[in-house]
Chains A and B, each alone.
Chain A
Amino acid sequence: MDPESTDVNRALMLDGNALAGLMQEIFGVEMTANPAECANCGNVSEMGGLHAYTQAPGAVLRCPACEEVMLTLVQTPDAIYLDARGAAYVKLMRPTSSSQG
């Protein structure tokens, strides 16, 4: 358990929470508490808890259990490409009267 180990790629990893603003831009609602199922291994995780790699041509969200790619987000001048092939589903909870933004 060495916090100073030198896996530079791993050190760049963030949580899905880091993409909360972009996801809210795409989906129109706060997404990080919404669950998604990995198409590869079946693990269900909240979007905010996915493993996020953002220092890349696009943002890559991976399953925290098996590390397979679940979603990618590529921003171009006129569009955002969303690839969700690696997610069996993304569950968008309906807002309740008590939920906040």
Chain B
Amino acid sequence: MADVNRGNRPLSPHLSIYRPQLTSVSSIMVRITGIASLGLALLVVWWLLAAATSAGSFTVIDGLLRSWFGSLVLLGATWALWYHMLGRLRHVIWDFGYLVQVEVSNKMGLGMFIGATVLTAITALVV
């Protein structure tokens, strides 16, 4: 039975044919910020390992992270981490069966961008 029409079935349309929407863009950003957080983990571990090793190696990475460029990278990473947390929270809410309506999902997507930005601003002010 399953051998009928093998290899000649319609394929699911992929990303490129859809118009970008708030739901899809906010979801793709969850994935991108998640992978970017792996890069942040590398910087944090490097910094910790240098601190545990010697004053000399600590000065190098600490200076790098506290330079204007390092601060910019850390600010971006902070936004990514906040955004990813909010985005994953949205997935959890969906998976429990709540707030799955399109309008509500759109509002949550917008809320993730605004929320991450506000939380990053608070972080920059407090830290």
A and B associate: no
Residues of A at the B interface (CB closer than 8 Å) are: none
Q: Chain B residues in contact with chain A, CB under 8 A?
A: none
